[in-house]
Structure 1
Amino acid sequence: MKKRFLTVGLATLLLAACSDEQATTNETPEATTLKVASLIPPMTEILELVEPTLEAEGINLEIVVLGDNVQPNAALAANEVDANFFQHKPYMEEYNRNNDANLVPIEEIYFANYGVYAKNVDTIDALPDGATVAIANDVSNIDRSLALLAQHNVITLGDKKDVYYTEADITANPKNLQFEAVDLLMLARMYDDADAVVMTPAYASPLGLTPKSDALLTEGIDNDFAITLVARDDNKDDGAIEALAEAMTSDAVREFLKTNYDETAIAAF
């Protein structure tokens, strides 16, 4: 009887061990949380659109909406978020240079059609001599603004003396335009105060302005300024980052941009 008891006991223990192993095997893995910093629509809307896709893959997308164009890169560099989605590659590269950071572009998502807007004139030729033109004050967007004006022969630029164009590179300025550099988030406010403003659709849209209907000049897509998903060099190959990039370049995102933003946000994929 004693031997039989031991045999039954051993079988019971083995059965229990197998049951525990099976329970562990069948246990749903804990979802991966992916924190992505962003600023404004359509950036935040695209992230919201792909949330269900990522959730189905076991990835919990946490969208961190920040209040200015400095915080997203600072948060990413400090490992406070895993990626960000608000900037073009030249802006990211300038941040890297100034902060000894290792941010990397993952995927270009859309072109924010840059444009020149003016409240009181309908054509660029109608701007008065000496007109004040408001532009963003970071070096990559100064470059972009000047290049847009040069693209349409409003000014002439010489060869770049450094990484970016600056006002010092202007070789001809027939209208004697006066440039006022302000923070990106101040551009929309300058629409009432300056003769013209050079800005993206994100800042023109709250004013009821679109590149297609209201801009005196537009940039198009022949440039390096697509709004891009950005991560760090140490996490660029993470599966969750790759899944996010794939979801953000889906047909659903392309259709969303086409339906809701037309020319203001042109798919880059």
Structure 2
Amino acid sequence: MRKKILAVVLTGILAVGALTGCGAKSDSKDSAKASDDKKITVAASATPHAEILEEAKSLLEKKGYTLEVKVFDDYVQPNNVVESGEFDANYFQHIPYLEQFNEEKGTHLAIAGKIHYEPFGIYPGTKKDLKDIAKGDKIAVPNDTTNEARALLLLQDNGIIKLKDGAGIKATVNNIVENPYDVEIVELEAAQVPRVVDETAFVVLNGNYALEANYTVSKDALAYEKSDSEAAKTYVNVIAVKEGNEDSEKIKALVDVLKSDEIKQFIEEKYQGAVIAYDGE
């Protein structure tokens, strides 16, 4: 009888221990999940995106969130790591590029917030004035589809080339129907364009790469897109997430902070017109 009683007691102790252990494990998982929900991971271009995100960190901390930013120097991996779930969001691209990437790569990325606009500009290379353009001059442009089209449209707006009617934001060099100066369009990966200023007459730069090359629109651009242009709406830079995550609490907190008056003031003071906060929805 004593052996049976002892066995029952031991069984009870083990059962309680097992339940207690399970409870601790569950609490640990819940704690880890809660911690993850308060951490926001964002893949970004260095300038201005990562700089703006750094400014946003303290504002997010006040809301109870920790922001972790990783800088990428290309336009592909930031989308891949969001699609895979490795990162919560990215901040580096405009809407046409996002839409084209989804179409070409079969990804499922969505816009969570429209944050800022970077005027595209024509900057001096070996020549300092567009009036000095001559036969056979070289002009460097980004080679990714949407940004090349944007560069070509800007060249068209300034009378350097003429594109086929309707080419729009999908324009390529094959759509050039008039080239009175017989310019050579040098197509390069966007990050490489600023590096050929000593080899080409002019360069057409994305806003972030212009900043990295120490150019500003107001001081250095020979021509640029205007802040009230259709381009401002078309090429607004966005926070992108995987479809279905647009309305998560931490993503909404991130977007709210990036559209706050504090961040708008930071953008205005730091970039002096090279980056413009987007006021639309």
- The 8 Å contact of residues 160 and 169 in structure 1, kept in 2 or not, is answered as no
* Cα distance in structure 1, aligned partners of 2:196 and 2:141: 9
Matched, 1:239 2:255: no
* Cα distance in structure 2, aligned partners of 1:220 and 1:70: 28
Q: Write the deviation string for residues 111-152 of structure 1: whole angstroms up to 9, x where unpaired.
A: 112111123323212122111111111111111111111222
2:236 to 215, 226, 232: 226
Q: How does 1:180-259 map to 2 (within 5 A)?
A: 180-221=186-227, 222=229, 223=231, 224-259=234-269
Q: Tell me which residue corresponds to 1:79.
A: 85
Q: How does 1:49-64 map to 2 (within 5 A)?
A: 49-64=55-70
Q: Tell me which residue corresponds to 1:264.
A: 274
Cα 1:138–1:246 change in 2 (3 A) is same
Cα 1:106–1:151 change in 2 (3 A) is farther
* Cα distance in structure 2, aligned partners of 1:76 and 1:39: 14
**SS of structure 1 residue aligned to 2:244:** coil
Cα 1:56–1:206 change in 2 (3 A) is closer
Matched, 1:129 2:139: no
2:96 to 90, 113, 116: 90
AA matched with 1:208: N
User: Displacement, 1:162?
Assistant: 8.4
**SS of structure 2 residue aligned to 1:197:** strand
AA matched with 1:196: F
**SS of structure 2 residue aligned to 1:97:** helix
User: Displacement, 1:37?
Assistant: 0.3
Matched, 1:172 2:172: no
- Structure with greater helix share of residues: 2
Matched, 1:66 2:72: yes
User: Displacement, 1:107?
Assistant: 1.8
Report the TM-score, using the length of structure 2 for normalisation.
0.81
Cα 1:95–1:166 change in 2 (3 A) is same
- The 8 Å contact of residues 126 and 197 in structure 2, kept in 1 or not, is answered as no
Report the TM-score, using the length of structure 1 for normalisation.
0.85
AA matched with 2:277: A
- The 8 Å contact of residues 47 and 212 in structure 2, kept in 1 or not, is answered as no
* Cα distance in structure 2, aligned partners of 1:54 and 1:78: 24
User: Displacement, 1:35?
Assistant: 0.8
* Cα distance in structure 2, aligned partners of 1:85 and 1:61: 13
Structure 1: gaps spanning 5 or more residues: 1-23
Structure 2: gaps spanning 5 or more residues: 1-26
